[in-house]
Amino acid sequence: MELNQRKIITFLLVVSALLMLNIGLKLPETVSKQDRWYYNEYEYGKESKDWISSKEYSLNKSISREIHAVEKTQYLSQEPKRNHYQKAWRLYDRTYNAMKERGLFDLKKARKEGYVKYDNLHWVKRELYFDNSTLEPMNPESLIYVKSSSNNSSVLAGVMYVTGSLESNGLQFAGPLSIWHFHPRDREYCERELYSLGDKTANLTCENSSIKKRRSKEMIHVWFIKKSEGPFATNMNVNNSELISSPQKMEKKEFMRQLKKEEY
């Protein structure tokens, strides 16, 4: 009898220890997930970034201040590592080559492939926008076309990758070099309404989606033009000095200099 009691007591002590260990491990992990994201209300022309933690950030305040874009990162005050630069080049290289291979430097070909005009710069493919995947160089969700510097033709200035859902965080594939952003909205949207692609009369409801947010999905640009803020710049403004007559792939050395925002 005494032996059985000892076994029971030992069992209970082991279970208690495991529970304490479980709590001790999981609680800090949950807190870290909440704290690990930092937000910057992006302002055109402002070089410095005022990062605030997820605890301090308020989407409603961004909306009330009519902020156009909000950037996100996990890498606050962390310097890029060598592998981050290599991964940044890899995505740029693969994306450019994929666009060339598919013939999407030509807007007419893009339209045949199913990309439709969303605004003056973005052309979006609905199937890709809602396929729950991203960062696939052969299938970017959006193409960015600007007017040529030499004539009135359209030139592919870059692409835009978009996360699979409203609840997805953009994968920082190149660490602190790859900052994603989203756009606050002045009203609540169903997930499938975020890009109605010009179809203002479409009967898009939330019957098939319970996700409603006053913000867009997260997105990141890959530019084929020389942006002063780098090849993944949030800034959508394209000035005359950045215009090109045709897409030209940067050499790896030049890309790295632009990524480091060095003079070239």
CB 215 within 8 A of CB 191: no
What does 152-203 look like in DSSP terms, one character per residue? S-EEEEEEEEE-SSTTPPPP-TTGGG--EEE-EEEEEEEGGGTT-TT-TT--
Per-residue DSSP letter, 251: P
Q: Where are the domains of the chain?
A: 1-35, 77-259
pLDDT in tens, 180-207: 999 998 776 665 554 444 444 344 455 5
Mean pLDDT of 153-177: 93
Q: β-strand 69-73 against 52-53: which pairing, if any?
A: unpaired
pLDDT confidence band for 18 (50 / 70 / 90): very low
pTM of the complete model beyond 0.85: no
The whole-chain average pLDDT of the chain stands at 81
Q: Which residue type sits at 87?
A: K
- b/e burial code for range 166-191 (CB count within 10 A of at least 16 → b): beeebebbbbbbbbbbbbbbeeebbb
Considering the chain, what percentage of its residues have pLDDT values greater than 70? 76
Higher pLDDT, 43 or 104: 104
pLDDT at 181: 96
Mean pLDDT of 115-141: 91
Round to whole Å and give the CA distance between 223 and 231. 5
Considering the chain, what percentage of its residues have pLDDT values greater than 90? 50
Considering only CA atoms, which of 144, 131, 129, 140 is closest in space to residue 102? 140
pLDDT in tens, 201-225: 344 455 554 456 788 889 999 999 9
Round to whole Å and give the CA distance between 211 and 36. 23
